[in-house]
């Protein structure tokens, strides 16, 4: 039998583990011409074997044996390959090697170089540009080059540098005389420069007044409003101003005046003081234009006329039967139209808008005084007053109100016999025949001659001479 006991054996266990180590420098700058390919290495050793991945400038991650966009590839050993490089491939690339023990990084900056080219202006403006005053001005100066050129504009004789748009265009919102001249566009980079000159002319036109065809002398009735035209054109658009006969500036809007957008001046309620010369002045940067209009405010004092246009003078006498209607004319003319007022006996006024005695006494629009149911209180002196800004006129009327008398049948003052005979002494002598009559109202007298003719007038006596009458 074996003797009991134990046995001893020794085993040595070694676990080998190494973090990744990249064989290339941690930072590298790589330049490559446009269109060429470039290899960027990233080989790493580690235990266990490391995993490699690249991060592109836009953040995209790529692993070995993977293609991106058809021109970026990572070989199994970790080398990054860029085929047909362009400026879009420029940027920072990062290689990352990792295993269970650790990681390592490598950064590579890739710059894709383009061939350098001097600045060259490709789309110049015309060598001469005419621009209307106040209009926009736009000058182009597009340039190419590598590096991209800087664009500057300058105006001859001035140190000022003008700000331009990114494409090289120079722009003015409103061109004026100060913007005229020789402009130079400069395109500059490190390789060279180019320049272009443009002559700018700001076109202007002195004012012309289109209201000149209107009357140079304007007659205006007193109290009426009137308008004066002054429409001006020019380049730039002229500034308009009106001046009164007293050479005072007329504001665009007031109780008396108003100037329209087209330059027309409106003067309200023409008075004698509004007569005189009105001056319209149109100005712009190119010059000045003027128009003078003479205004005569016409005022005529009142005059009272009758149907045959004769002026009334002194006093006239009118008669009316008691209880009848009486119309007394007072037609007045003048500029401005006169206002007619009647003064009744006792001094009470009567006007167009007043109605005296309950409407029994009225004044018509033509100035006629209308008295209905005339009575003794209407008798006496009446006065028609016509007045306007230019003066006054008056008409005095003595009104007599008569009572109507009873009618009396006509009779002869000396009643001859119905067959009265008067003998003439001899032929050719004169014979007088009387025919006086009485009556109320007064009768009309008519003679009938032997030849059946009647004289052309009413006679109270008839004289015969030889064989006729007179």
pLDDT per residue over 182-238, tens digit each?
Answer: 998 899 999 899 999 999 998 888 888 875 566 688 999 888 899 999 989 888 888
pLDDT band at 466 (very low <50, low <70, confident <90, very high): very low
Pick the range with the lowest mean pLDDT from 133-147, 165-179, 321-335, 434-448: 434-448
Report the pLDDT value the prediction gives residue 369, as an integer from 0 to 100. Answer: 92
- Mean of pLDDT values over 450-457: 58
Q: What is the pLDDT of residues 78-133, one digit of tens each?
A: 999 999 998 889 999 999 999 999 999 999 999 998 778 899 998 666 788 888 88
The overall average pLDDT reported for the chain is 84
Whether the pLDDT of residue 345 is over 80: the answer is yes
Whether the pLDDT of residue 436 is over 80: the answer is no
- Mean of pLDDT values over 420-434: 63
- Mean of pLDDT values over 48-70: 92
Q: What number does CATH give the domain 209-297? A: 2.60.40.10
Q: How far apart are CA 419 and CA 412, in angstroms?
A: 15
Q: How far apart are CA 80 and CA 52, in angstroms?
A: 11
Q: How far apart are CA 455 and CA 435, in angstroms?
A: 14
Q: How far apart are CA 468 and CA 242, in angstroms?
A: 83
pLDDT band at 469 (very low <50, low <70, confident <90, very high): very low
- C-alpha distances (whole Å) from 168 to each of 120, 130, 297 are 12, 20, 64
Pairing of strands 391-402, 315-321: parallel
pLDDT band at 60 (very low <50, low <70, confident <90, very high): very high
Report the pLDDT value the prediction gives residue 277, as an integer from 0 to 100. Answer: 95
Q: Which two tokens stand for residue 278?
A: 């009105």
Q: Which residue has the tokens 């400069």?
A: 186
Q: What percent of the chain has pLDDT over 90?
A: 40
Burial class (CB in 10 A: 0-12, 13-18, 19+), 210: middle
Collect contacts of 404-407 with beta carbons under 8 A, ≥24 apart: 404/321, 404/322, 404/323, 405/440, 405/441, 406/440, 407/440, 407/441
Report the pLDDT value the prediction gives residue 213, as an integer from 0 to 100. Answer: 62
Report the pLDDT value the prediction gives residue 426, as an integer from 0 to 100. Answer: 60
Pairing of strands 232-235, 239-243: unpaired
Q: What percent of the chain has pLDDT over 70?
A: 83
Phi then psi for residue 130, to 5 deg, are: -105, 130
pLDDT band at 455 (very low <50, low <70, confident <90, very high): low
Whether the pLDDT of residue 36 is over 70: the answer is yes
Report the pLDDT value the prediction gives residue 409, as an integer from 0 to 100. Answer: 79
326 CB neighbour count, 10 Å cutoff: 18
Tell me whether the CATH fold assigned to 18-113 matches the one assigned to 117-203. Answer: yes
CATH topology of domain 18-113: Immunoglobulin-like (2.60.40)
- What letter would DSSP give residue 213? G
Q: Where are the domains of the chain?
A: 18-113, 117-203, 209-297, 301-402, 407-470
CATH superfamily, with its number, for domain 117-203: Immunoglobulins (2.60.40.10)
Whether the pLDDT of residue 404 is over 80: the answer is no
pTM: 0.43
- Cis check: omega of the bond before 115, within 30 degrees of 0: no
Architecture of domain 301-402: Sandwich (2.60)
Report the pLDDT value the prediction gives residue 307, as an integer from 0 to 100. Answer: 56
Report the pLDDT value the prediction gives residue 467, as an integer from 0 to 100. Answer: 37
Whether the pLDDT of residue 464 is over 80: the answer is no
Q: Which two tokens stand for residue 149?
A: 């050129």
- Mean of pLDDT values over 234-246: 90
Pick the range with the lowest mean pLDDT from 49-63, 90-104, 111-125, 379-393: 111-125
Pick the range with the lowest mean pLDDT from 156-165, 203-212, 453-462: 453-462
Q: How far apart are CA 20 and CA 46, in angstroms?
A: 4
């Amino acid at each position: 039998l074996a003797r009991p006991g134990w046995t001893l054996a020794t085993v040595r266990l070694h676990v080998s583990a190494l973090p990744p180590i990249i064989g290339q420098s941690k930072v590298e700058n790589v330049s490559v011409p446009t269109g060429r390919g470039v290899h960027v290495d990233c080989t790493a050793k580690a235990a266990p074997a490391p995993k490699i991945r690249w991060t592109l400038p836009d953040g995209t991650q790529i692993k070995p044996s993977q293609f991106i966009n058809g021109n970026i590839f990572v070989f199994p050993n970790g080398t990054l390959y860029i085929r047909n490089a362009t400026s879009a491939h420029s940027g920072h690339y990062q290689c990352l090697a990792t295993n269970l023990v650790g990681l390592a990084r490598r950064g590579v900056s890739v710059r894709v170089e383009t061939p350098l080219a001097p600045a060259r202006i490709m789309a110049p403006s015309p060598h001469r540009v005419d621009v209307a005053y106040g209009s926009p001005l736009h000058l182009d100066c597009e340039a190419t080059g590598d590096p991209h050129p800087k664009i500057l504009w300058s105006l001859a004789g001035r140190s000022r540098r003008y700000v331009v748009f990114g494409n090289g265009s120079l722009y003015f919102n409103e061109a004026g005389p100060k913007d005229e001249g020789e402009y130079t566009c400069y395109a500059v980079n490190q390789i060279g420069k180019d320049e272009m000159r443009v002559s700018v002319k700001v076109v202007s036109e002195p004012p012309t007044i289109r209201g000149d065809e209107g009357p140079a002398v304007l007659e205006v009735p007193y109290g009426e409003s009137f308008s004066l035209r002054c429409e001006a054109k020019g380049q730039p658009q002229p500034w308009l101003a009106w001046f009164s006969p007293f050479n005072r500036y007329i504001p665009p809007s007031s109780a008396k005046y108003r100037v329209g957008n087209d330059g027309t001046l409106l003067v309200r309620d023409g008075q004698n003081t509004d007569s005189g010369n009105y001056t319209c002045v149109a100005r712009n940067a190119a010059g000045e234009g003027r128009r003078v209009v003479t205004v005569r405010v016409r005022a005529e004092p009142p005059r009272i006329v009758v149907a045959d246009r004769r002026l009334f003078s002194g006093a006239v006498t009118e008669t009316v039967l008691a209880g009848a209607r009486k119309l007394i004319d007072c037609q007045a003319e003048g500029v401005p139209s006169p206002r007619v007022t009647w003064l009744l006996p006792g001094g009470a006024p009567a006007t167009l808008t007043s109605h005296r005695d309950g409407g029994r006494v009225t004044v018509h629009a033509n100035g006629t005084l209308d008295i209905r149911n005339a009575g003794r209180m209407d008798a006496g002196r009446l006065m028609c007053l016509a007045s306007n800004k230019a003066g006054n006129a008056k008409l005095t009327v003595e009104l007599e109100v008569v009572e109507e008398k009873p009618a009396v049948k006509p009779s002869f003052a000396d009643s001859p016999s119905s067959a009265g005979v008067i003998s003439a002494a001899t032929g050719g002598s004169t014979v007088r025949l009387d025919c006086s009559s009485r009556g109320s109202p007064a009768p009309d007298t008519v003679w009938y001659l032997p030849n059946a003719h009647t004289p052309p007038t009413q006679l109270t006596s008839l004289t015969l001479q030889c064989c006729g009458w007179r």
